[in-house]
Chain A
Amino acid sequence: MDTMPLLIFQCLNGIVWGLIFAMIVLGLSLTFGLMNLMNVAHGSFYMLGAMLTATFASGHGMNFALSVLLSVAIVSALGVVVNRLVLDRLVGSEPLIGLLSTAGLLLLIDSFALAFFGSAAISVEDPISESIEIFGAFYPVYRLVVAGIAIAAIAGLFCFLRFTRQGLWMRAVPESRELSLIAGVSPRRVSQTTVILGSFLAALAGALITPISSAHFQMGLTILGTGFIVVVVGGAKNLMGTVVVAIGLGVIRGIAATFVAPTEAEVISLVALLPLLVIWPNGIFGGRNA
């Protein structure tokens, strides 16, 4: 492919992937910001969304959209259970205790996935196989659909936070837990809503990317590291910051991939983040207080 169309493709693909990645890590940002919890098990929700969708769609021949909906519903319900049993008890704990227990959750969930789904990767056929021409580059339509869904989901989340009472509570509790309690807000309900939203988004992202990336029981681990980096670089409690950094990372990786080998492009995208952590200690959009 010529350089210019390739570059256009890469930028577009970077934005699309950035939106998908933002959907995955917004949940991480929410639990990090609201519950001060480094939830490493978050990647497992993403993985389960993908594994369930792939099993329903490829294993049982179910319609893809239905597979996605069913998977997301199951994982969101699992999020409620996990919150009740583990996460809710960690609010207010030391961050490392949160890390310890969510790491335990990750191992438990991934072991369950191995036992139930097996170790083989499962592919899912593209629901839409056409491509569309954009400035000389042919881009798969399915990815544009996923990007559209991601935008809608992210916008929906922001509207929820901005315009609903639950959303108001979710923004209030991190500011002052005591005042929120006095105002009659239930922090436990708020935590539950946070976890449900986070698991919903992660599962949706996992489900939607199965035609592109397939489903594998260890896939949650591969996004974890970059996920935390994006959340912190964006500003731990700043959701818009998380989205912007996710998209920026995707674009940098894409542009780098146009000119250098794939591994070098991955390394460049990670190296690019390091000085940002020095210049903006609380994240690019983190403000003065952590």
Chain B
Amino acid sequence: MICSKMNPTRRSVLKGVAGAGLLAATSSRVFAAADASNPILLGIQGDLTGALAHDGLWEARAAKAAAEWHNKRGGIAGRAIKVVAVDTETKTDVGIRRLQQLIQEDRCDFVIGSGSGGIGVASVPIAKDAGVVYMPLSRTDSITTEAANPLLFRFVANSSIAAKASQQWMVDKIGKKWSIVLSDIAFGHSQREAFTAALESVGGHVVQAIALPPNVSDPLPFLLKMDRSVDGILTALWGPDSVRVYPALVTAGVGAKSKFAVSSTTNLFDVLKMGKSVEGLYAFDEVPWELVDYPNAELTKTAFAEIGIGPSGRSLEGDDYVMLPSAIICWEYVSFMKRAIEGSGWTLRNDGLKLSSWVAANPVMPTGELFLRPDLTVRPQDQQAFADSYILQLQNGRMRVVNRIPASETMYPAKVTITR
């Protein structure tokens, strides 16, 4: 691995050069101390306990690491970033309260949102009404369609992006006839709708949908009804269901069929530890897992190291799996704050629209230490970001990139146009 072979002196020199270059490009103040007396308050609406606890802890960790990294480099417009993290307990009513706490009690002007769909959908209008910039981690489509507003910037990919990005590859490389196994919840249904429409647009066909009640103890009886003539099996399952379904597909006799997991579901459980039932599994993902698969590995390493992620996308300490796309996007959200605040001259909460106008004029986020994903662009109409996306495959216990989809090919038509 590149990281381990480098000696510390060379590594820190490279880091310093890259960092200085970047700072020189974005700010005239290089390494001046950030002013902690007038901080920019960043709230993290974290899922620190409950069903999404594992992911939420990595997301909070990444955001805090990013804030600390920027603070060491002069902060944002000379001001330190102060992070306030709260716990939604992965419950919608609690998540709503915590957001209100961040907005009203802690006076946060920026909030990185929960990864839970329900909490995200509930939170968007609350943040909008309060004039607070909301940066969601939930991937529900409606957040950047019906609910889009000038203070909402979404860097995570929703089901429409995942489906559009994957459609051609799925039909060309695997086949036209698909079956989908989904968790019988809103997440699963939105993935089913998006992928069914996407595949049909390129000559594919979803012939069967098996919707499993969430937390079903034994999916095998339902999977036996799988149409065995399909070319591939699409899975849209939340974490605990995935862990049951993949081995059950083997028992059901369809384990040899190509399997494709929709966006980010392979980050919700330790897929690398599941053995032969997931060997060869394809997955759509917003980011590569292995550092070597990043186009700018040298610069990407900064974020990995600061957050505590090793070169194969797992934790540096303890060999834990990481909710990698969300962690990286949290890093990018803080970077986005840096660029947008300094670029637009934002100083206080009421300046929210300045950020939106600036982004509309400067939609491209340059790849480097700040933004790890190539061609990251925030579309002005709905402030949904698009970047190069990936199809990964689990090969011999490692998730490797088998296809890269350019950002332009992931852009579905905007369903709303924000008025500023």
Within 43-77 of B, Cβ neighbours of A (below 8 Å) are at 49-54
Known: A10-B221, A254-B221. A123 touches B247 (CB 8 A): yes
Known: A118-B54, A262-B184. A140 touches B221 (CB 8 A): no
A121 touches B239 (CB 8 A): yes
Name A261's closest neighbour in chain B (CB-CB). B211
Residues of B contacting A118 in the complex (Cβ-Cβ under 8 angstroms): 53-54
A164 within 8 A of B: no
Residues of A contacting B222 in the complex (Cβ-Cβ under 8 angstroms): 257, 262, 265
Give bound CA distance, A10 to B224, whole Å.
Answer: 10
Give bound CA distance, A263 to B212, whole Å.
Answer: 7
Known: A211-B247, A262-B212, A262-B213. A120 touches B270 (CB 8 A): yes
Within 88-140 of A, Cβ neighbours of B (below 8 Å) are at 111, 114, 118-123, 125-126, 131, 138, 140
Residues of A contacting B239 in the complex (Cβ-Cβ under 8 angstroms): 120-121
Residues of B contacting A262 in the complex (Cβ-Cβ under 8 angstroms): 184, 210-213, 216, 222
Number of interface residues of A (CB under 8 A): 37
B243 within 8 A of A: yes
Residues of B contacting A222 in the complex (Cβ-Cβ under 8 angstroms): 215, 217
Within 213-245 of A, Cβ neighbours of B (below 8 Å) are at 213-214, 216, 218-219, 222-223
B217 touches A223 (CB 8 A): yes
B243 touches A123 (CB 8 A): yes
- 30 pairs from A and B in contact (CB 8 Å cutoff): A1-B225, A6-B225, A9-B224, A13-B220, A17-B217, A17-B218, A118-B53, A119-B52, A119-B53, A120-B239, A120-B321, A121-B243, A123-B269, A125-B247, A125-B275, A138-B253, A211-B247, A212-B217, A214-B243, A214-B244, A216-B240, A218-B240, A219-B217, A254-B221, A257-B222, A262-B210, A262-B212, A262-B213, A265-B222, A266-B216
Name A54's closest neighbour in chain B (CB-CB). B243
Within 35-51 of A, Cβ neighbours of B (below 8 Å) are at none
A218 touches B244 (CB 8 A): no
Across the A-B interface, the 8 shortest Cβ-Cβ residue pairs: A119-B53, A121-B240, A214-B243, A121-B243, A262-B222, A216-B240, A119-B54, A123-B243
B224 touches A122 (CB 8 A): no
Residues of A contacting B248 in the complex (Cβ-Cβ under 8 angstroms): 212
Question: What's the nearest-Cβ distance from chain B to residue A25, in Å?
Answer: 13
Residues of A contacting B225 in the complex (Cβ-Cβ under 8 angstroms): 1, 6
B251 within 8 A of A: yes
A209 within 8 A of B: yes
* Chain B 262-280: CB-based contact to A (< 8 A → 1; otherwise 0): 0000001110011100000
Known: A138-B253, A212-B218, A262-B210. A122 touches B184 (CB 8 A): no
A131 touches B251 (CB 8 A): yes
How would you classify the secondary structure of chain A's contact residues: helix, strand, loop or mixed? helix
Residues of B contacting A209 in the complex (Cβ-Cβ under 8 angstroms): 217
B217 touches A120 (CB 8 A): no
Question: What's the nearest-Cβ distance from chain B to residue A277, in Å?
Answer: 22
Question: What's the nearest-Cβ distance from chain A to residue B288, in Å?
Answer: 21
- Given A218-B215, A219-B217, A261-B211, 4 other A-B contacts at CB below 8 A? A6-B225, A123-B274, A211-B247, A263-B184
Question: What's the nearest-Cβ distance from chain B to residue A141, in Å?
Answer: 11
A193 within 8 A of B: no
Give bound CA distance, A212 to B220, whole Å.
Answer: 9
B244 touches A212 (CB 8 A): yes
B213 touches A263 (CB 8 A): yes
Residue numbers of B with Cβ under 8 A of A are 49-54, 184, 210-213, 215-218, 220-222, 224-225, 239-240, 242-244, 247-248, 251, 253, 268-270, 273-275, 321
Question: What's the nearest-Cβ distance from chain A to residue B247, in Å?
Answer: 7
Give bound CA distance, A17 to B217, whole Å.
Answer: 10
A180 within 8 A of B: no
Known: A121-B269, A211-B247. A218 touches B51 (CB 8 A): yes
Residues of A contacting B213 in the complex (Cβ-Cβ under 8 angstroms): 262-263, 266
Pick the most buried of B54, B221, B269: most chain A CB atoms within 10 A of its CB: B221
Give bound CA distance, A9 to B215, whole Å.
Answer: 21
A58 within 8 A of B: yes
Residues of A contacting B210 in the complex (Cβ-Cβ under 8 angstroms): 262
B53 touches A114 (CB 8 A): yes
Give bound CA distance, A81 to B240, whole Å.
Answer: 30
Q: Which of the residues A114, A131, A213 comes within 8 Å of B218, measured between beta carbons?
A: A213
Question: What's the nearest-Cβ distance from chain A to residue B217, in Å?
Answer: 5
* Chain A 159-182: CB-based contact to B (< 8 A → 1; otherwise 0): 000000000000000000000000
Residues of A contacting B244 in the complex (Cβ-Cβ under 8 angstroms): 121, 123, 212-214
Give bound CA distance, A263 to B217, whole Å.
Answer: 13
B215 touches A219 (CB 8 A): yes
A13 touches B221 (CB 8 A): yes
Question: What's the nearest-Cβ distance from chain A to residue B372, in Å?
Answer: 24
Within 247-277 of A, Cβ neighbours of B (below 8 Å) are at 254, 257, 261-263, 265-266
Residues of A contacting B216 in the complex (Cβ-Cβ under 8 angstroms): 262, 266
Residues of A contacting B247 in the complex (Cβ-Cβ under 8 angstroms): 123, 125-126, 211
Residues of A contacting B53 in the complex (Cβ-Cβ under 8 angstroms): 114, 118-119
Give bound CA distance, A222 to B275, whole Å.
Answer: 26
Residues of A contacting B215 in the complex (Cβ-Cβ under 8 angstroms): 218-219, 222
Name B242's closest neighbour in chain A (CB-CB). A121
Residues of B contacting A114 in the complex (Cβ-Cβ under 8 angstroms): 49-50, 53
A120 touches B269 (CB 8 A): yes
Name A118's closest neighbour in chain B (CB-CB). B54
Residues of B contacting A216 in the complex (Cβ-Cβ under 8 angstroms): 240, 243
Give bound CA distance, A125 to B275, whole Å.
Answer: 8
Question: What's the nearest-Cβ distance from chain B to residue A213, in Å?
Answer: 5
Question: What's the nearest-Cβ distance from chain A to residue B249, in Å?
Answer: 13
Residues of B contacting A213 in the complex (Cβ-Cβ under 8 angstroms): 217-218, 244
Within 197-220 of A, Cβ neighbours of B (below 8 Å) are at 209, 211-214, 216, 218-219
Give bound CA distance, A254 to B240, whole Å.
Answer: 22
